[in-house]
Structures are given as structure tokens and as C-alpha cells.
A = this chain, B = another copy of it.
């Protein structure tokens, strides 16, 4: 049996590494690797440097958990923001979508996950203690819960509401209903039920 011809080891390793990236399958990993091998300019080196730079310089904000280049993120240091209003999200990646609305000018707190016994994520794995500390220290008057509208998001909301109900802080939740542009025929029962019970006056 003749030896099977393959790419040199460095390229095979590169393809295997690129496949670790989300949404990149074997075909695209090979395509990207061969592009990298053949690029005439320094773009692949720039990509490698950008990865290393990001890994070195980006950390979680000590306060809210958003991505930061120093101890505290740009949102938390922004003195033009309301300091007594917190929006509670599951992940730091949930913050920018909310920012893009321009409808919220308080600060955030990212839990880093949601309570999920099946995934072995308990309350002690989330940044709940940090939240309680902030409520006391920063004199928070309202916490807007913006956790996912699923079973684990509900459980996490209920758990935290229980911890906070003795404190002098208003607890609210973002509305549920039909999405903008969405017709009734494409909405599921739970969404429609939430939209009905959350109806507002015209």
C-alpha cells in the first residue's frame, strides 16, 4: 500500500486548530488554512497577533463582567450613566444588544450563566454574591431582570428575587410579547399568553 499524500504537518495542525472555532467545519478550516499559507501580504500574521493581543489584554470588568481592557469597563466608568439602575443579564455578550437600543442608560451586571442543574451550574457558580454587594454598596434603586425567557432563566430570576426581596430595591423584568414585525400566526402559545397578560393601555 502506497503512502497517502497529505499536507505537511504544520498545515494539518493549523486545519485542526482552526476547526475548534465556532461555526468552522472541516471544509472551511482547510480553505482558511490554505488561504493563510498562500497569502502574499502579512494578514495571517496580523490575525495571529490580534488573537494574542486580545487574549493578553481583555479581561472581565471587575464590576459588571463586560469585556474590559482594564479593571473596570468603559460602561462602568462612564459618569454620565445613572448609577442606581442595574440591568441584570446572563452573559457579557448580552450587553451590547441592549446598548444598541439606546433605551437604557444605567449600568449592567452579567451573571456569567444561569442556574442549570443539568449542566451542573448552581447559584454559587454565578456572580450573584457580587450582585448583592453592589446593591448595598452602590445604592441601587431598581434592578431590571433581562435574563433569557426559558426555564433556567426563570429559575435564576426567581432565585435572585428571593434573595433581594427584603432589600429596598425595585425588581422589574423586561416585557414579553410579540416581536416587532412579528405576526400573530408565527408566535407560539407561551409568547401570546405573555403578550396578553402584559397588555398595555392605548
Contacts and interface: CB of A to CB of B under 8 A. Distances in A.
Interface of A: 2-11, 13-14, 17-18, 20-24, 28, 31-38, 43-55, 57-58, 67-69, 73-75, 78, 80, 92-93, 95-96, 99, 102, 105
A28 B3 CA distance: 37
A110 to B, nearest CB: 11
Contacts of A44: 51, 54-55
Count this chain's copies in the assembly.
2
A9 B150 CA distance: 33
Contacts of A74: 5, 8
A49 B7 CA distance: 18
A154 to B, nearest CB: 24
Describe A's contact surface by its main secondary structure.
Answer: helix
A69 B13 CA distance: 13
A22 B50 contact: no
A57 B7 CA distance: 13
Given A11-B58, A69-B9, A21 B50 contact: no
A32 to B, nearest CB: 5
23 contacts: A2-B80, A4-B99, A5-B74, A7-B96, A8-B73, A10-B50, A10-B53, A11-B58, A11-B67, A13-B50, A13-B54, A14-B51, A18-B47, A22-B28, A24-B32, A33-B54, A34-B93, A36-B55, A37-B55, A44-B54, A48-B51, A48-B55, A51-B51
A123 to B, nearest CB: 20
Contacts of A35: 21-22
A72 to B, nearest CB: 12
A8 B66 CA distance: 10
Contacts of A24: 28, 32
A47 B21 contact: yes
A24 B43 CA distance: 14
A45 B52 contact: yes
Contacts of A32: 21-24
